[in-house]
C-alpha cells in the first residue's frame, strides 16, 4: 500500500458520487415529464386535476436542479481527489472486487457530472429558452391556458363535424347547404342530437330519407373511446354506449338494404335498355385482325455459330465449377442475356434434331 493514502476517504467520496449519479439519473428519467398525463390528453379532466398537474409542473425545474447540484458537488470532490498522482497510482490494486466495472462507472459518472451540472438558475433559463420550441404536451401551461384549451374543444368538434358535412354534401348533391347548416346549428354539441335521439327511441326498421341516412352514417363514423365502453362494462355489466351504437348500426344496415332493393325493383328508363343491350356494343377486335408485332430478326450464320460456341463454352465452364454470373461477366453479358442466348441455342438444336 502507498504510504499516506487515505483509502477510506476515497471510497466515501466515490460512493457519494455514485449516489449522486443515481439521483440525477432518476431525476432525468423519472421527472423528464410530469408524472401526470397532460390535461389535453385526458377525457373530461376536472379542475382539481388541472391544478395538481400545474403544481407538479412548476416544481419540476427545482427537482431536477437539486439532483444536478448534488452530483456537481460530489464530482468536484472526486475530480480533486483523483487529480493527485499518489491517489491514482495505487487505485487498481486496492479497489474492491470488480474494480474495472466500478472504475469505469466512476469515469462515466464524472463525465456525466460535468455535462449535467446545472443550477436552479440554469434550469429556469433552459426552460425559458426552450419553452417556445416544446410541443403542447411538454410546454409549461398555466392553469388559465389549460382551461382555455378545454373550452375550445366544442369548437374544434364543430369544425370537424362541418368538414364531414361538407364531404357528405359533395357526395349527395340533393342536400342543400341551407339544410346542412340548419341541421348543424340545431345540434347540441356538434352531433345530430335530435335525429339520434329520435332513432334511439324508435324501432329498428324506421325508414330514413337519403339525407337522414347520410347524417346517421356521419355520426357513426365519429370516433369513440373503447376505454369508455370497458369502464361501463366493469361498472354496470353492460355498456350503454355500445348498445346505442349497435341499434344505430341496425337502422343504418336496414336502410342500406332497403335502398339496394329499391334500385333492383326500379324499372329502367326507356333508353337505358337499348344502351345496356350487349348487341349494341361495338364488336371487339378479333385476334386474327390484330396486327402482330415485329419479332426478333432472324440470326445469320455467323451469329448462330458464335452463340453455339458460347453455349459450348458455358457447358465446359459449368462442369469446372464456374458460376453463371461470373461466366456472363467474363463474356461481357448479363445473366439474363446469357439465359436468353442459351434458350435460343437449345431451340435451334431441338429443331435440327427433328
The closest alpha carbon to 119, from 187, 174, 71, belongs to 71
Indicate if 102 and 183 belong to the same structural domain. Answer: no
38 contact partners, CB below 8 Å, separation of at least 6: 53, 136, 137, 141
Predicted local confidence at residue 18, as pLDDT: 64
Distance CA 247, CA 205 (A): 10
Distance CA 202, CA 247 (A): 10
Indicate if 180 and 130 belong to the same structural domain. Answer: no
Indicate if 37 and 104 belong to the same structural domain. Answer: yes
Domain count, the chain: 3
Indicate if 340 and 220 belong to the same structural domain. Answer: no
23 contact partners, CB below 8 Å, separation of at least 6: 67, 70, 71
On whether the pTM is more than 0.85, the answer is no
Question: Is 311 among the domain residues?
Answer: yes
Q: Which grid coordinates belong to 178?
A: 341551407
Indicate if 217 and 248 belong to the same structural domain. Answer: yes
Pick from 264, 287, 317: which residue ends a domain?
Answer: 264
**Residue 251 is part of which domain span?**
153-264
Indicate if 109 and 193 belong to the same structural domain. Answer: no
Indicate if 256 and 333 belong to the same structural domain. Answer: no
Predicted local confidence at residue 314, as pLDDT: 92
| pLDDT tens across the length of the chain (354 residues) | 445 555 566 666 666 666 666 665 555 555 544 456 666 666 677 777 777 777 776 776 676 666 666 666 666 665 665 555 555 544 444 444 444 444 555 555 555 544 444 444 444 444 444 444 443 334 344 455 555 655 565 666 666 666 666 665 666 565 555 555 555 444 444 444 577 878 888 888 888 888 888 888 888 887 777 777 777 787 777 888 888 888 888 888 888 888 888 777 766 666 555 555 555 555 555 556 667 777 667 778 888 888 999 999 999 988 888 888 889 888 888 999 899 999 999 988 888 876
Indicate if 136 and 165 belong to the same structural domain. Answer: no
Question: Is 278 among the domain residues?
Answer: no
Indicate if 12 and 118 belong to the same structural domain. Answer: yes
Predicted local confidence at residue 50, as pLDDT: 72
Buried b / exposed e across 159-175, counting CB within 10 Å, b at 16+? eebeebbeebbeeeeeb
Contact 249, 213 (CB under 8 A): no
Contact 212, 221 (CB under 8 A): no
Question: Is 349 among the domain residues?
Answer: yes
Pick from 129, 149, 169: which residue ends a domain?
Answer: 149
Indicate if 68 and 48 belong to the same structural domain. Answer: yes
Pick from 90, 119, 149: which residue ends a domain?
Answer: 149
Amino acid at each position: 500500500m502507498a504510504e499516506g493514502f487515505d483509502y477510506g476517504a476515497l471510497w466515501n467520496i466515490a460512493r457519494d458520487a455514485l449516489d449522486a449519479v443515481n439521483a440525477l439519473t432518476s431525476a432525468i428519467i423519472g421527472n423528464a415529464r410530469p408524472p401526470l398525463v397532460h390535461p389535453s390528453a385526458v377525457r373530461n379532466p376536472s379542475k382539481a386535476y388541472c391544478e395538481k398537474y400545474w403544481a407538479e409542473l412548476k416544481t419540476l425545474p427545482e427537482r431536477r436542479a437539486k439532483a444536478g447540484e448534488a452530483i456537481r458537488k460530489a464530482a468536484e470532490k472526486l475530480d480533486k481527489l483523483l487529480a493527485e498522482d499518489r491517489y491514482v497510482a495505487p487505485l487498481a490494486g486496492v479497489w474492491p472486487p470488480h474494480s474495472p466495472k466500478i472504475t469505469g462507472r466512476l469515469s462515466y459518472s464524472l463525465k456525466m457530472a460535468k455535462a449535467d451540472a446545472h443550477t436552479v438558475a440554469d434550469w429556469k433559463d433552459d426552460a425559458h429558452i426552450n419553452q417556445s420550441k416544446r410541443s403542447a404536451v411538454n410546454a409549461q401551461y398555466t392553469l388559465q391556458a389549460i382551461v382555455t384549451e378545454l373550452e375550445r374543444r366544442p369548437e374544434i368538434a364543430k369544425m370537424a363535424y362541418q368538414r364531414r358535412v361538407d364531404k357528405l354534401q359533395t357526395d349527395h348533391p340533393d342536400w342543400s347547404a341551407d339544410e346542412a347548416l340548419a341541421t348543424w346549428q340545431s345540434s347540441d354539441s356538434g352531433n345530430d342530437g335530435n335525429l339520434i335521439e329520435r332513432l334511439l327511441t324508435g324501432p329498428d326498421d324506421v325508414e330514413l330519407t337519403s339525407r337522414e341516412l347520410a347524417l346517421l352514417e356521419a355520426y357513426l363514423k365519429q370516433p369513440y373511446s373503447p376505454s369508455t365502453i370497458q369502464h361501463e362494462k366493469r361498472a354496470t355489466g353492460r355498456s350503454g354506449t355500445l348498445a346505442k351504437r349497435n341499434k344505430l348500426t341496425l337502422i343504418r344496415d336496414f336502410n342500406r338494404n332497403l335502398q339496394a332493393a329499391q334500385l333492383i325493383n326500379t324499372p329502367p328508363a326507356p333508353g337505358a335498355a337499348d344502351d345496356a343491350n350487349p348487341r349494341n356494343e361495338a364488336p371487339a377486335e378479333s385476334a386474327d385482325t390484330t396486327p402482330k408485332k415485329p419479332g426478333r430478326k432472324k440470326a445469320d450464320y455467323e451469329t448462330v455459330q458464335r452463340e453455339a460456341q458460347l453455349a459450348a463454352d458455358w457447358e465446359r465452364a459449368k462442369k469446372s465449377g464456374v458460376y453463371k454470373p461470373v461466366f456472363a461477366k467474363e463474356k461481357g453479358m448479363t445473366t439474363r442475356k446469357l439465359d436468353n442466348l442459351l434458350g435460343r441455342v437449345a431451340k435451334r438444336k431441338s429443331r435440327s434434331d427433328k
